[in-house]
Amino acid sequence: MSTTTTTQKKVLGTYGPGSSHWVGDGFPVRNLFPSNGLQLEVSPFLMLDYAGPQYFKPAPEPRGVGEHPHRGFETVTIAYQGSVSHRDSAGNVGTIFPGDVQWMTAASGVLHEEFHEAEFTKNGGVFEMIQLWVNLPAKDKMSKPGYQAITKEQIPVVNFATGGHARIIAGEFLEASGSAVAKGAASTFTPINLWDIILKAGEKVELTVPEGHNTAVVLRKGDVTVNGSGKLNGEAKIATLGRDGETITLEAKEDTQLVLLSGEPINEPIASYGPFVMNTREEIMQAVTDLKNGKFGRL
């Protein structure tokens, strides 16, 4: 009879926001990377902004970000409070409400806009979302743009025995044995896990993620210890973990809201310039030229 031995992933460090700023007039964000110096430790993820929680008064016109381009990666927006509407030059239009996820593949290039949804604008309320940028490998950077509008009803939920739960947005939720319990709603280009987790006060859970994945635990709010040594409390914090090992133990001292990211690293050069993320400076210059020449389409 054989037994399987698993090891914990090592906590590499814990961090707060590297910057706080407004994106347009609708998204007050705290940036958890790359502003704090994290890049290789979180590949294939490029950026994470935590927007809010922020109360907005009723307004006559939607707040947000007007027409702007992207190329070479994907944007993922998770809505917790409030609602946001999207429109892009590939013809995609959609609105995400609390619990929903918008997964836009910019790839070869799109123009898009993001504004507070009409009723939220009219009535006001608390706005809270996460936006994550996910890198694409070189072979996929110039592929056709895509769009996944994922409603909360489409996202599988795994309930923990002690009261909390995990929503599996992308990837696979595994038992300790390695068997898949649930598969995420989103399609991805490279192996990625994106789980939205709620823990109850006093709850302790052990999660399994693949050996070799870069992994991070993002705290929205609460008090949690990661693998006995990584302490996160308050709001907008992140712990990074090493590639070796497969398990992550989370212990919550109070009700806690988390996001777990893990992914197979993309071991390729990164050249970035604002909304463009490619592999070389020449590709960035080409993106700027293509944008000027109207190759990103029109809204």
Nearest to 23 by CA among 124, 101, 115: 115
Count of CB atoms situated within 10 Å of the CB of 229: 11
**What does pLDDT average to in each consecutive run of 10 residues of the chain (299 residues)?**
69 96 96 90 96 97 96 98 96 96 97 97 98 98 96 96 95 75 95 98 95 97 96 97 96 98 96 96 98 94
Strand segments (E) across 71-186: 73-81, 84-88, 93-96, 101-105, 110-116, 125-135, 146-150, 157-159, 165-170, 172-174, 180-183
What is the predicted pLDDT for the residue at 36?
86
Q: What is the pTM of this model?
A: 0.94
What is the rounded distance in angstroms from the CA atom of residue 188 to the CA atom of residue 147? 11
Structure-token pair, residue 90: 């590939």
What is the predicted pLDDT for the residue at 50?
98
What is the predicted pLDDT for the residue at 147?
96
Burial class of residue 223 in the structure, from the number of CB atoms within 10 Å of its CB (0-12 exposed, 13-18 middle, 19+ buried): middle
What is the predicted pLDDT for the residue at 38?
85
Q: Answer for the pair 283, 238: CB distance below 8 angstroms, yes or no.
A: no
Tell me the one-letter amino acid at 202. G
What is the rounded distance in angstroms from the CA atom of residue 240 to the CA atom of residue 209? 13
What is the rounded distance in angstroms from the CA atom of residue 126 to the CA atom of residue 189? 33
Domains of the chain: 11-289 (2.60.120.10)
